[in-house]
Structure 1
Amino acid sequence: METITAFTTQDKKSHNSHKFAFTLSHTNYGYWKAMIEPFLVSLFGYVDGTITCLKPKVGTRDAIIDNPSYPCWICNDAHVRMIFISTISESSFQHVQGTTSRDLLLQLERVYAPHNSSREYTLKTQLLKLAMKGDETPLSYLAHAQEYATALANIGEHVKDKDLVLLVISGLREEYNGLKSTLLAHHPPITFIELHALLSDHDYLINKNLPAIPTSQPHVFTASTRTSSPNINSLHVGDGNSLPILHIGSSKIYSSNQTFNLSNILYVPEVKKNLLFVQQFCNDNNVFFEFHSSFFVVKDELTRTTLLTGPSNNGLYSLCLPSLKSIPKIALTVVKASSSV
């Protein structure tokens, strides 16, 4: 007959003296599971089922009697279960079910690591479609990739490090195109834990070369060359009114490393604020804009080199040119009317 000895008071004090590093939540099950076994050490047998639940009754040659080790096993398991529960966050307490430590572990596995074809398909599809968002930082992007890989590992579908690296590189934004070939050609191959430092270094070097954003009042464009238009056209504004265009001109603006052309500048005396027609600016200068939550960037269409940058203030993007006078901002949609209207 198997014999179990109850934990002594000293045993319990020793067990309770160990503190778990963090608590289980819906985002860290993989890390929690990897640490819970060495944390519980010899007590983990109650959790994984190797120290099995004893029967309350045992048979002898003469009769069936109470199992003297059964109460000891119940007390020991209850002690282990309480230590086990102390590693679970408040948000996960709704999943604390069952009467034994083993029951609790199985319930948590069903909640946080359900292994079925649907779950596996969803996680693998999300990982294959991994893409870096426009304003996402390298740290956040890599964290998302790690979450999917960890979730797959929790259901027994481990992702190879080299495969995870390839998927992450494939999903990087266009601004990292120049870095992608370097990462792929690196020997020995880049590991996942190295990616954050490499991407952060790349961002630092790019941002270091960005034109400085002045802290003074933002400036906008003005025309330096104006010609009379034989046919007076109209500018339609948001309230439905048509404002006369008296002149059409052209100009140039200068940054620290580029001269930009401005064509078809419309002189409308009744509009007191200046606006930029982004599409025309892109066509005239072979550039493209990237709009982020707090700033925008103008890049060369071929080299992807950053040529201009500016802040977002009160919902509007402002181009800062120190050589121009301050002019208040306005937000309107510009449409050039034909002369026949």
Structure 2
Amino acid sequence: MAPSSSQPPCGSNLDGYINGNTPCPSPIIKNSTDGTETNNPAFNIWIRQDKYLYIALLGACDEEARAVMSTAPTARDAWLILERAFATRSRSRVMSLKERLNSIRKEGSTDVAAYMQNIRAVSDELSLIGHPVDDIDLVIHALNGLDPSFREFTASIRTRDNPISFDDLYVKLMDYEIYLKRDELMNPHTPITANYANRGRSNHHNRGRQQPRHNQHGRRPNVTCQLCSIKEHTAQNCRKFTCTKRHSSQPAAYAAQNTIPPPEWLFDSGASHHITNDLNNLSLYGDYNGNDHLHVANGMTLPITHVGSTKFNTSKPNHNFALNNVLYAPGVTQNLVSVSQLCNTNNVSIKFFPSFFKAMTGEFMALMRNGTWTLVPPSPHYNVIGNKWIFRLKRNPDGSISRYKARLVAKGFHQRPGWSLTQMDVNNAFLHGTISEDVYMTQPAGFIHSSFPNYVCKLKKTLYGLKQAPHQFKQALAEQFSLKDLGQPSHFLGVEIIPTKTGLFLTQHHYIRDILFRANMSDCKPVSTPMATSFCSQPKPDSTSCDSKEFRSILGALHYLSITHPNIAFPVNKLAQRMQAPTVTDMQALKRVLRYLKSTISNGLHLTKSSNTSLTSFCDADWAGDISDRKSTELHIPLTAPTIFSDNIGATYLCANPFFHSRMKHVAIDYHFVRDLVAAKKLHVSHVPTSHQLAYLLTKPLSSTRHHFLKDKIEVIEDTSILRGHVGVLTS
């Protein structure tokens, strides 16, 4: 049943079903005399009228409203759902509808009727919640959302003296749309996308214009050029096309010319996509409709305007690789080939350095000698895991390359979800133990068997990365095993270790050079102190901010450098308090530390051995636990009385003074504690001059003279004398 357009529900006295004035009667009528129950005919009539009204509401609403009210049991429930969904008078609802009205655009194949109906629908919703849109505003919204093909129409409407209503605009837009479609049918425009263009125009060498060719029957071809609209020739032979290709600076999607030199491409293992800066490098391309931008290493973002494809030619004939989804970014300085994209698309592998290929060959031959796997035919029942090559550079203490390492690692995380890929740095595969499970792996990249390219490797021994590897590794260590003697330590985690007659000399000069190179300060002017004495500990409120990423990167590297250079611990820790919002002043102070390291790059920490092995301190677990006399519960262990140095002579005298001053009540606990220890000769308090206080090097900026004096006191010295003595020890 469907409602009649000439008889609306309210005209049939059905409005009570909507507003609740006509509730649903009881389905059963009970006789008051004899108590019998009968069906209520009014209930069936009410249900029928309610269904009639419910269907009328569904037919009068659009798809969005029907989806909202489809679960309502009655017409009144459906009406209440519609009221809550579309008639809410909240501020967020009003803002959402106005933003939706501003965002309506006529795009693509959307016709004028659908476009204007969308605007009218949103306008009706605003009117329903008490925020009607003026007719002039609706006209402005409709004109602003039109595509460029309606530019002339929009200009004529805006220059009218008399305002136009929304309904009149709707009619005129429909007429103009019909005019545009009729004009498009009469004057078709077919864009040229991928036509091959020869460099030579003809085989004639005379200076006159080439005469048109005729077919075998002496008649001219019945074709029309797509560029100049002149018959008897095609766009490929058109003079306008040739001139455009030679002189126009506008990019076009034509195939590459034979005489154009091949472009230079750089292989980039860190690039996620192929990137070019010249549209001529692409054989086919089109506009890029995405919202992504290209992120480069210096932190900048470059726009992407086109995307296309091309072929990468090699020195061997018939060995070309496809480059798909090549992004065109005008601001890029080089043409980049994404190694991962190239390998995945063309099923190839790339070897960058011959030294690493030699290391790969050595690793592969070692695996073959140890019988790590055997080749077997593949089966759909096998869980074949992948593998990858891990490359590492081993360096000497001076930073030079010692050797190239290549390790074949199985992707063991495929065996159990959630496991990450791990690797171990050993000489080669001698630690691989025999496994009892059946484990299958793909053939390693670059070493696929030519006769059995589709076979898989059945592992007989473990590889790094397998979940069986740790157990087999420990089992192999428990058996007879030949270790490699590396001798005395010389370089560990960036710290160079030099043995001396009295101890060890630790230096990080190569690490300092790396920090200076990263900060572009390899040729900076050195200074004598790491921090100026006038450095302000509080940042100024109007200070200009600097690059926080660079600031944190350099400061984090200096924290590790303080292992062998404790003299820079104070400025590094002080500047670390500014990591959240560093300023230009903080960056200048950080660069001063780098300039200081430039002057002390040969310094290191000299660790000397001590002959004293007696216990000098212990932990008091119940300090001042007795409330009556503030005594502590101590362990009765005989100790050598330590000496505390203080540059405050008043505090030194106070610790040994047997008289109690009335103004020292607030430090009664500390006073009695230290005084009792001094009286019991468990502690010595000695005065040290301010000029010899070593703690000042770690707590405040000092002048150049005092800084170098205290630096030498903590055994941060130059390596000149240390290295000379070390050479003497080695030669002797």
Q: Per residue, is there more strand in 1 or in 2?
A: 1
TM-score by length of 1: 0.47
Q: Which has the larger radius of gyration?
A: 2
TM-score by length of 2: 0.24
